Structure 1
């Protein structure tokens, strides 16, 4: 598998505080990579580091196979666009003027691409309206248009839906999917709004306390979070043996609890268990959300 970004034990220390602690992650080419963590977990620190806004204290990373210690990393970063923390826009200029200035800064032609970018992000009809009068969602989309001025094939978005209203969230989701599917841009999105992220991400990295605690594909996450029947019994070893005999998939949670990934004949199952002196205590449907899965990974509490 080809990777756009690979980090190798990246650490970032501020005096006695470690914002990143040996973080290793891999962002596949063509993916929408959901970088999941609470506020203060280290998401923005990692993004600022790979964008070259601050150096790592320890460890290395690669963009398209070029190490951050290589002199060629500056040219490689031209393949990357980013919106970090807040969109970098000029509030007293129009959307078109913002893009024209960004093209001039980057030294690239803007005649055709400016109008195309405005149409791409849904801002082609904003005319002479200044950016300061845009809604938050419009400013976020303008920030993405600015990040796309250099025609990057890797886009990094730091909490792009934070603070948006429901309509703004839908528009942002549709834009991200369009950039990925139609423009073939690999996208890294940091977010703590997990259920929304689950609608677009193809891969996930879960960060807590500056460490990457789990990395997985959307398919793997779906298997972890799929619907099941949660059963409480007096002896899960008996339940396991019985389900094996019935050819039913399951997962033992503890001595009394198991998730059964099918809809067994409860009467038949109860009778089989009763024959081996095992009682069913309760049966309920269970569907773990991305949020509850994340909590199960990191536990309760807060990073702040």
Structure 2
């Protein structure tokens, strides 16, 4: 008999979830030190966690392993998204992730067709575990971070207008998009975090020709696009500068840029971003 209790997580587990999250990711290549307020906001807002689809492993009533999940439409299919998997030191090597996914799969198959996640490419141990569970690699993402001080662009302010946008204008924004985002940045998922997102548009003659959506508190760019016929005219640079200023001149981040999006990668590098880490997107058929 297992020494661990495997059960769905509950809202009143949030404090334990936070403590275990910090402990599990204490040695992670990318800093994950969120205070409780930000962690709760991330779980209930950005992730919109489904507690009934999220499982924990408990030892002596302490949460020592977890998988956090959300549910939404993604690329035309109802999908479950893994927003965090972790096992705290001292309990690794006990196949807890496999046990958590076994419990999850028994419940998830009636609610979605697949489960997706991202994992940093250098995390070979996690990749091996996911592959043993049944996940397969289906996409490759680059993640960028701004590493320079931005200066005002030379964009002609008389010709282009920078203005506030909103989620209600997503249909206009989607007409400008040239690539699909990862699960957490789709408009369907973004809606759960809209209160914490800033929407900025660039307009010409009253027409929206570019937009950027970002989280000012963290400096994370969620989405952006520029009209294909008006690229290389400084619009994207001006939008990034606006995000930079409104975020308090933080080192902006742009994560999960599809590897095939060479034009976006080139733009980010030209502005002053650096490709810091890469991620695999992996998928499990339920």
TM-score, normalised via structure 2 length? 0.30
Q: Which has the larger radius of gyration?
A: 1
Give the strand-richer structure, 1 or 2: 2
